[in-house]
Amino acid sequence: MPVDENKLKRILNKVQKPARYIGNEWNVCLKDHDQVRLKMAFAFPDLYEVGMSNQGLKILYDSVNRNPQLLMERVFAPAADMENLLRENGLPLFALESRESLADFDVVGFSLQYELSYTNVINMLDLSGIPLYSDIRDNHDPLVIGGGPCVYNPEPLAPYFDFFVIGEAEEVLPEILSEIALLKAKGLNKRDLLVELSTRDGIYVPSLYQPVYDKGILQGLKKLESRAPDLIKKRYIEDLDRTPYPTAPVISYIETIHDRAVVELFRGCARGCRFCQAGYTFKPVRRRSQDSVIDTAKQLIAATGYDEIALSSLSSTDYPGLELLISQLDSALPGGSVKCSLPSLRLDSYSVKLADQLHHGRRSSLTFAPEAATERLRGVIKKNISEEDIFAALKDAVNAGWQGFKLYFMIGLPTERDEDVEAIPELCRRIRQYFKKREGRSLKISVSVSTFVPKAHTPFQWEPQLTVEQVVRRQEILKKGFSNLPGVDYSWHDAETSMLEAVFARGDRRLAPVVERAWQLGCRFDGWSEHFSFKKWKKAFQDIKIDPESYAYRHFKYDQSLPWDHIDCGVSKEVFISEHHKAVYIDGGEGGANGTFEL
């Protein structure tokens, strides 16, 4: 049953940005619930305007709804004011299209983009009246499933989920939903259904495995069901040109984070930056052909009315023939009123040339991510750009009229020393000086420094994160360095937020109750600095008797079981070991993070 319309009206009159909750947007897909065989709610555990920018949502909404027998609706995390009003009025969380409670769907699928959205997952289940734990939910409850980058280490959420979809889901999700409809019609009970599904590539059913610990150290997973696979292979699309793409995505009424059309140039990345999980998990590189890009762009603009189209990928300037493609797009799209944009620019002259080709009008600032300020450390992370390249690229940009730069760096990378940190403000000083002397130009530079979080399925997965104290000390070095640099804007990420991210990024199943406890203590939207409360999280860890530091700061040994060993991302452990070894012992000059890393 849809939620009570009158009650909803009263609530919408009181909340901020009520358009987050009204649905009925352009290109929305409305289906009769009685005419489909299976209903799925796509649940995004963050605000509407964040979730509506997510390309995964657009792709899956399209791929599932293309099948007339399946239905997918959307739901997002309600902001605090909406949550309170829903609870006060006894209304459940509802899907935007039909306004049906999530509990009335066959499947509720969470998009797990970011570790700090986990309390929102719990909150959304609770607001829908869906039992939190998989083993409490029965045949009548929805199946709760998850996908997205976080499922490359799904263990901290394992007990809440019936299964995870590992990898790219646009093929496997409609397949598996149809199969669920079939198996349900046959009357299979939940356990048998999950066992059946677990035999499909890309499906991980956590309840069929049990972690084994020895003196608190994970030894591996024990299978509880012989048919379940030892390794869960990720699914991926082989040919982008032959896979349907959402050319008429839902367009929000309110402004979203990335309010533009998006066409994907390619998936995967040939660069192999060693800190980057997406670089490894999205292998191999698969390109969309130029014809397909142009055709898709035309359809997108016609169906949306957007005035901007982003050419997206992990490293768009690596697309072969990009210059030609952009000029072809220019002539293919309605004259003058649609502009193209590139979301990520490499710090090299070629990228600046492309930006020059794309960007008409005011040129305020260009964004680059050198990540590290010394050539040595850039070698360690395999972001191989020389200082010469950097200056050449910036010079071209200044000559083309750009007034400033936004630069992203990380601290806490493996093998980092104080001199690498000091080099960040130093590099900015040299950039400013260079342009002041040569060109007489005073550049605006803004610098954003985040803290390295070691992620599963990367060569740095064995590395510890810097302790909060160490991070704060290095941030002090930066503050001091930037304090006498006028014209440079320095911002940094909160050390404790990054620590929590690190805990969950490499955590195991023992962390699951901490998420529920933190949620009970009031944690929501932990990725939003205005909502994040480390105090509550600390209390949650204490209550469950888990030491978060032992998770964030631990270094794994090569022969040790990792919580994500059963997830096969397509890159073998040998490759990661060899890359890690090269990073810290060859490219890094001398060994190990903080000099303490042992094999």
Interaction of residue 401 with another protein, rule CB under 8 A: no
Residue with tokens 């009263």: 10
**Ordered DSSP codes for 164-221:** EE-B--TTHHHHHHHHHHHHHHTT--HHHHHHHHHTSTTEE-GGGEEEEEETTEEEEE
Nearest-approach distance from CB 250 to another protein, in angstroms: 12
Identity of the residue numbered 264: E
**Type and span of the H or E element at 397:** helix 387-399
Interaction of residue 361 with another protein, rule CB under 8 A: yes
Query: Cα(371)–Cα(577) distance, rounded to whole angstroms?
Result: 22
Q: Which of 29, 237, 278, 303 binds another protein (CB under 8 A)?
A: 303
Interaction of residue 26 with another protein, rule CB under 8 A: yes
Nearer to another protein, 250 or 583 (CB): 250
Helical spans, DSSP H, in 400-453: 418-439
Nearest-approach distance from CB 23 to another protein, in angstroms: 9
Nearer to another protein, 50 or 301 (CB): 301
**Ordered DSSP codes for 103-128:** GGSSEEEEE---GGGHHHHHHHHHHT
- The DSSP output letter for 570 is S
Interaction of residue 213 with another protein, rule CB under 8 A: no
Nearest-approach distance from CB 362 to another protein, in angstroms: 7
Going by C-alpha positions, the residue among 176, 156, 68, 76 that lies closest to residue 116 is 156
Q: Which of 183, 237, 254, 521 binds another protein (CB under 8 A)?
A: 254
| Displacement of CA 499 from its chain's centroid (Å) | 17
Helical spans, DSSP H, in 440-572: 468-483, 495-505, 512-520, 534-544, 548-552
Identity of the residue numbered 513: P
Q: Cis omega (within 30 of 0) on the bond before 149?
A: no
Q: Which of 2, 10, 210, 438 binds another protein (CB under 8 A)?
A: 10
Count each helix (H run) and each strand (E run) in the chain, helices first: 20, 19
Nearest-approach distance from CB 24 to another protein, in angstroms: 6
Interaction of residue 18 with another protein, rule CB under 8 A: yes
Nearest-approach distance from CB 58 to another protein, in angstroms: 16
Q: What is the dihedral of CA 342, 345, 351, 353, to 10 degrees?
A: 60
Q: Which of 141, 241, 307, 308 binds another protein (CB under 8 A)?
A: 307
Q: Which of 302, 324, 575, 586 binds another protein (CB under 8 A)?
A: 302
Q: Which of 140, 215, 242, 362 binds another protein (CB under 8 A)?
A: 362
Nearer to another protein, 19 or 521 (CB): 19
Nearest-approach distance from CB 29 to another protein, in angstroms: 14
Interaction of residue 484 with another protein, rule CB under 8 A: no
Interaction of residue 253 with another protein, rule CB under 8 A: yes
Going by C-alpha positions, the residue among 283, 278, 272 that lies closest to residue 380 is 272
Do the Cβ atoms of 286 and 238 come closer than 8 Å? Answer: yes
Interaction of residue 487 with another protein, rule CB under 8 A: no
Do the Cβ atoms of 425 and 386 come closer than 8 Å? Answer: no
Nearer to another protein, 24 or 386 (CB): 24
Q: Which of 189, 199, 289, 337 binds another protein (CB under 8 A)?
A: 337
Nearest-approach distance from CB 307 to another protein, in angstroms: 7
Q: Which of 192, 239, 255, 323 binds another protein (CB under 8 A)?
A: 255
Interaction of residue 305 with another protein, rule CB under 8 A: yes
Interaction of residue 53 with another protein, rule CB under 8 A: no
How many residues at the interface with another protein, by CB under 8 A? 26
Which residues make up the interface to another protein (CB under 8 A)? 9-10, 12-13, 18-19, 22, 24-26, 251, 253-255, 301-307, 334, 336-337, 361-362
